[in-house]
Structure 1
Amino acid sequence: MKKSLIALAVLAASGAAMAQSSVSLFGIIDTGIGYIDNATPANGNKWGVGTSGNATSRIGFRGVEDLGGGLKAGFWLEGEVFGDDGNAGGLNFRRRSTVGLEGNFGEVRLGRDQVAGYNKTSSYDLFGQTGVGQFMGWRNWDGAVNTGNVGDENGIRANNLVSYYTPNFSGFKAGISYGFDEVQGESNAGRYIGGNVSYDNGPFSVALSYDRLEISQPARGLGDRDNVTLAGSYNFGVAKLIGIAQQQQYSYDAGGADRKFNNYALGVAAPVGGAGEVKLQYARYDQKATSGEADQLSLGYVHNLSKRTAVYGTVAYLKNKDGSSLGLQSKGINTTAAVNQKQTGVQVGVRHSF
């Protein structure tokens, strides 16, 4: 009898523990057809099937365990999915691979992740930092090399990251990230530090971020890339207005003038008929380091067929001048414009989340 009671107690405790833990599978598949003219230095056009025109395609696993006393442990593994070729290069978890603790003190994360200098202020881009319509301020403007995080020269994500995010204090929140360079020698190339502060109160939202990434540049040697971004939005109900102002500055140990790139965006999004949304966004890229300038105008429409599925269309126009040669960004259709060339890009596709 005692053994039976003990067994029942063990099973009950096991069931309670299982009830306090959860693991879920999630993802987005976004695939569409796109066209961009003047997509090469020789003014050739490109078209085809691409991915992530409205939201970045991904698959991931996340889990949380309630440790009691308000303390939780969790993990997050997330990799990008390329619907056009089925991940010919293989699936990895370079979008995010973290483990952390969360409680009344806030949240601490360890691992590869978006940096705190990007993840909040970038959220004001009406095109979600993807597709031909996206705001292109976060890019590798000066051709830098990130020895510690090859492929992350734009400073959006970092390896070997430690991040802390505060609780919500009456609408105020903050976050800070530090990325170890873990490179032999004393160059510190690849080291990252950055953070953000934000305030959200009803229809009003504003955020300020700053970060520094230690980089090298083939022609100028070791240096720092400093990025300051101020962004905000106000939702009037009938429409939401957003604004972004950013400066990236590159300075090098060998001296010489700092190389600055100022970027701006202004946009409006409005619901249409209960199931749709139309968005219009203008961006200016003032490349002071090279005296080049570019203007981008993006128009998009998203129609929700259900809570999980939507169809979308985006048209973007980019005008380079004064020596600028920016190209519209589109996964699956890479572009490099000729100097002072104009580009027009079109994308239509389907997005499904699970």
Structure 2
Amino acid sequence: MKKSLIALAVLAASGAAMAQSSVTLFGVVDTAFGYVDNANAAGDSVYGLSTSGNATSRLGFRGVEDLGGGLKAGFWLEGEIFGDNGNAAGFNFQRRSTVSLAGGFGEVRLGRDYTPGYTKFISYDVFGQVGIGQFMGWSNWNGNNQTTANNNNDANGIRSSNLISYFTPNFSGFTAGLGYGFDEKADKTNSKKGRYVGGYVAYDNGPLSVALSYDESSALTLGSGATAVNGADRNRLTLGGSYNLNVVKLNAILQQTKDDVPGGSERKVNAYMLGASAPVGAGEVKAQYALYDQKFIDSKAHQISLGYVHNLSKRTALYGTVAYLKNKDASNLGLNAKNLSTGGPGAGENQTGVQLGIRHSF
């Protein structure tokens, strides 16, 4: 009888502990038909299936455990899905791989994650930083040759491995985040190579949202081969915001990316974006304009993007996006059509792209 009571007590305690924990499987599958003209300097056009035109396709697991006293432990593992080829190159958790502690003090994360200087600005891009319509301020300017395989932050500055970050609680609409990415001595000859530091401050109140961020990456390698430049330090300052008028939501981003080259001239890119989105029936219309002023080559590029998303349900949507990129002078930017784009159209050449797809989330 006593053994039965003890077993019941243990089972009840176990059930209580399990009730304080949760694990969620989640994901998005987004596949589209895409077309890009002038996909390379030869003037070729490409078409076929592409991925992540409206939202990044992903598969992930996240969990949280209530430790009591307002303290919670969590984990987040997330990897990208390529629906057009079934992840021919394999699956990993390079989108996010973190463990965290959260409470009244805020949240501390350890692992691979978005850089704090980037994470807040996804919402200011009308196209959510995906597909051919997206704002391309976070690009591999100047040929940053850093790779995650060498424990460095990503070439475009969007994510960093070996990152410790802290996010504050919400103080009457004010929030902030700060992160430090360890270089882990990836390059024995340069103790700072691949190091990242950055953060943001933001204010959200009703229809208004505004944020300011600063990022710095140390000792980058720009370009490759005989013309490679070593030891460049990159800093990026970004201001963004949005205002929801209910009938239309207005967004804007102003950004400066600057590479300080040892013994050389400063390489600077100023990028600007204005966007608007409006609900229409069961869907949403999007329009966005971006200017990329590439000071280091004295050239500019203009991008105009239009899109429509039609919601079939809360989890499924059809979408279409068309984008036009006008390069001037030495500019050779290309639209971002994942698994379809083949690069820039050539210096001073223009490019047009279309994506028609379906997105399902679970």
- TM-score, normalised with respect to structure 1: 0.97
Corresponding residue for residue 188 of structure 2: 185
Corresponding residue for residue 248 of structure 2: 239
Alpha-carbon distance between aligned partners in 2 of 1:259 and 1:151, rounded to the nearest angstrom: 19
- 1:198-218, CA deviations, whole angstroms, 9 ceiling, x for partnerless residues? 000000000001000121224
Alpha-carbon distance between aligned partners in 1 of 2:167 and 2:200, rounded to the nearest angstrom: 9
**8 A contact 2:285–2:308 mirrored in 1:** yes
**8 A contact 1:75–1:98 mirrored in 2:** yes
**For 1:175-324, what aligned pairs fall within 5 Å after superposition?**
175-182=177-184, 183-187=186-190, 188-214=192-218, 215-217=220-222, 218=224, 219-253=228-262, 255-273=263-281, 275-324=282-331
Q: Tell me how far 1:186 sits from its aligned partner.
A: 4.7
Point out the more displaced range, 144-153 or 49-58.
144-153
Alpha-carbon distance between aligned partners in 1 of 2:208 and 2:46, rounded to the nearest angstrom: 40
**8 A contact 2:152–2:161 mirrored in 1:** no
Corresponding residue for residue 45 of structure 1: 45
Is residue 170 of structure 2 the alignment partner of residue 168 of structure 1?
yes
Alpha-carbon distance between aligned partners in 1 of 2:144 and 2:193, rounded to the nearest angstrom: 11
Alpha-carbon distance between aligned partners in 2 of 1:248 and 1:337, rounded to the nearest angstrom: 23
- 1:297-341, CA deviations, whole angstroms, 9 ceiling, x for partnerless residues? 000000000000000000001100021110111101123211111
Is residue 18 of structure 2 the alignment partner of residue 18 of structure 1?
yes
Q: What letter corresponds to residue 118 of structure 1 in structure 2?
A: Y
Q: Look up the SS of the partner of 2:143 in the other structure.
A: coil
**For 1:68-147, what aligned pairs fall within 5 Å after superposition?**
68-146=68-146
Q: Tell me how far 1:185 sits from its aligned partner.
A: 1.8
Q: Tell me how far 1:189 sits from its aligned partner.
A: 1.1
Alpha-carbon distance between aligned partners in 1 of 2:260 and 2:294, rounded to the nearest angstrom: 15
Point out the more displaced range, 51-60 or 220-229.
220-229
**8 A contact 2:320–2:357 mirrored in 1:** yes
Q: Look up the SS of the partner of 1:7 in the other structure.
A: helix
Q: What letter corresponds to residue 188 of structure 2 in structure 1?
A: G
Q: Tell me how far 1:2 sits from its aligned partner.
A: 2.5
Alpha-carbon distance between aligned partners in 2 of 1:337 and 1:123, rounded to the nearest angstrom: 29
Q: Tell me how far 1:245 sits from its aligned partner.
A: 0.1
**8 A contact 1:121–1:208 mirrored in 2:** no
**8 A contact 2:216–2:234 mirrored in 1:** yes
Alpha-carbon distance between aligned partners in 2 of 1:248 and 1:5, rounded to the nearest angstrom: 67
Q: Look up the SS of the partner of 2:112 in the other structure.
A: strand
Q: Look up the SS of the partner of 1:343 in the other structure.
A: strand
- 1:83-115, CA deviations, whole angstroms, 9 ceiling, x for partnerless residues? 000000000000000001010000000001111
Q: RMSD of aligned C-alpha atoms? A: 1.1
Is residue 350 of structure 2 the alignment partner of residue 342 of structure 1?
yes
Alpha-carbon distance between aligned partners in 2 of 1:351 and 1:17, rounded to the nearest angstrom: 36
Is residue 330 of structure 2 the alignment partner of residue 326 of structure 1?
no
Q: Which portions of structure 1, spanning 4 or more consecutive aligned residues, are displaced by more than 3 angstroms?
A: 147-151
Alpha-carbon distance between aligned partners in 1 of 2:188 and 2:134, rounded to the nearest angstrom: 38
Q: Look up the SS of the partner of 1:142 in the other structure.
A: helix
Point out the more displaced range, 181-190 or 259-268.
181-190
Q: What letter corresponds to residue 185 of structure 1 in structure 2?
A: K
Count of equivalent residues: 352
Q: Look up the SS of the partner of 1:289 in the other structure.
A: helix
Q: Which runs of 5+ in 1 are unaligned?
A: none
Alpha-carbon distance between aligned partners in 2 of 1:23 and 1:353, rounded to the nearest angstrom: 17
Q: What letter corresponds to residue 85 of structure 1 in structure 2?
A: N
Q: Which runs of 5+ in 2 are unaligned?
A: none
Q: What letter corresponds to residue 70 of structure 1 in structure 2?
A: G
